[in-house]
Amino acid sequence: MFQDLINLFYPNICQICDTELHKNQNVLCTSCINELPITNFHLDNENPVRKVFYGRVPIENATSLLVFKKKGSVQKLIHRLKYRGHREIGSYIGAWIGAELAKINSYKDIDIVIPVPLHKKKLEARGFNQVEGFGQEIAKALNILYIDDVLLKTSFSTTQTLKTRLARWGNTEESFVLFNSEKIKNKHILLVDDLITTGATLEACADVLLEAENVKISIVTMAFTA
Ligand SMILES: [Zn+2]
């Protein structure tokens, strides 16, 4: 009854085609699920996402659930997640890929999930990190911890140390810093983000995480730009 009342004001609609969903459906309708561009990259570790990092930074496993195309359904989903506050979209995609990864041996020794952080100002403006629900659901599926106080994003230009780091990364304007590095010592980390395009952001994050002692890194994103 209470749910019926909520649905009256906020109809439960498919986040791609906007048709009303049945009571047992969540986020997407059956036909939109069937039409989603799924990569299945997780079934092959030598996949295009992992290849992005070849010769740049050592990555154990890497995958994305979906293919991102301009004006496509995945772009719509990510836009609604980031700019319209539909946080359930991130959780939905995370639960999906999490269930897939839980079946794969090479993902079984992962210890923690860490999100690519947002800068504090952006976090305040948006109110949430769009990767949070995604990462938390993956952590739940793999029965491991989600940790968001280790890797932080800083504005560039504040300190001399940061300038040195920027110089090292060259073409990326983003800079990240490591806190509580003892929390990730000897851990296999799953670094998660919404979208991978050039891989520059994830590479910068991986570089910083690898400053901790005996760390291995894998990467999962919601979508991959083909
Ligand atoms: Zn639909």
Count the Cβ atoms, other than its own, within 10 Å of residue 136. 21
Count Cβ atoms within 10 A of the Cβ of residue 221 and give its class: 0-12 exposed, 13-18 middle, 19 or more buried.
Answer: buried
Count the Cβ atoms, other than its own, within 10 Å of residue 59. 22
Query: What is the residue-averaged pLDDT of the chain?
Result: 91
Contacts of residue 99, defined as CB under 8 A and 6 or more positions apart, other chains included, come to 141
Looking at residue 35, what is its pLDDT? 96
Q: State pTM to two decimals.
A: 0.89
Looking at residue 11, what is its pLDDT? 75
Distance CA 53, CA 119 (A): 24
- What is the whole-number distance in angstroms between the Cα of residue 75 and the centre of ligand 1? 14
Confidence of residue 28 (pLDDT cuts 50, 70, 90): very high
Distance CA 77, CA 71 (A): 11
- List the shell of residues around ion ligand 1, using CB closer than 5 Å: 14, 16-17, 29, 32
Kindly list the domain boundaries of the chain, sorted by start residue. 1-35, 38-225
- Looking at 3.40.50.720, 2.170.150.20, 3.40.50.2020, 1.10.3720.10, the CATH number of the domain 38-225 comes to 3.40.50.2020
Query: What DSSP designation does 57 have?
Result: S
Percent of the chain with pLDDT over 90: 81
pLDDT digits (tens, 9 = 90+) for 111-141: 999 999 999 989 999 999 999 999 999 999 9
- What is the whole-number distance in angstroms between the Cα of residue 24 and the centre of ligand 1? 14
